[in-house]
Amino acid sequence: MNTASDARLEALLLHAEIDAFNTDYAEKLDRQDLLAWVECFAEDGFYVVISRENFERNQPVGLIYCEGRGMIADRAFALLKTAMFGPRYLRHMISNLSVASQPDGSVQARANFMVIEVLTDRPEPRVLQVGEYRDVFVRVDRALKLKERRCIYDNLLIPTALCIPV
């Protein structure tokens, strides 16, 4: 293995690490463990859920907008208390990941997501949301954390889904 190969391997290892992060992130949401989900973010992490329409028009108004892990945690606690995160099953499918390390040591990444919902009173699963993640990752004590995650959803959301993190 020469230097060129080493660089490709490093890129491959980083890609695999982000992929594992996303798998873990999705798993936390799918078992509705919002407190563990909060830990995916850096202390000053930014989290926004925004429609593709608004994103493409540079209108930063999002359905969910959180600056800092404190706000993200508040959001999670509120959800748990209001029991809106209720009697349903969610399942994330994440694919089409691309990763680019930046000169400052951070990592930019994108991936497509799909969230499938199963309600207890409906036999058929339905596609609740589809869209993409646009992320910036940083390392905190060697572990990857989200410095920024923008969840850009294609669809108009239905009311019951309004407050669910993606």
Name the site residues for a second copy (rule: CB under 8 A). Answer: 1, 5-6, 8-9, 12-13, 15-16, 20, 22-24, 26-27, 52, 89, 91-98, 110, 112, 114, 116, 118, 123-127, 129-132, 154-158
Which of 92, 94, 98 lies closest to 110 in space, CA to CA?
98
- Which residue's CB is nearer to a second copy, number 6 or number 67? 6
Q: Which residues make Cβ contacts (< 8 Å) with residue 100, sequence separation at least 6? A: 107, 108, 109
Query: At closest approach, how far in Å is the CB of 13 from a second copy?
Result: 5
Query: At closest approach, how far in Å is the CB of 8 from a second copy?
Result: 5
- Identify the three-state secondary structure at position 146: strand
- Which residue's CB is nearer to a second copy, number 15 or number 68? 15
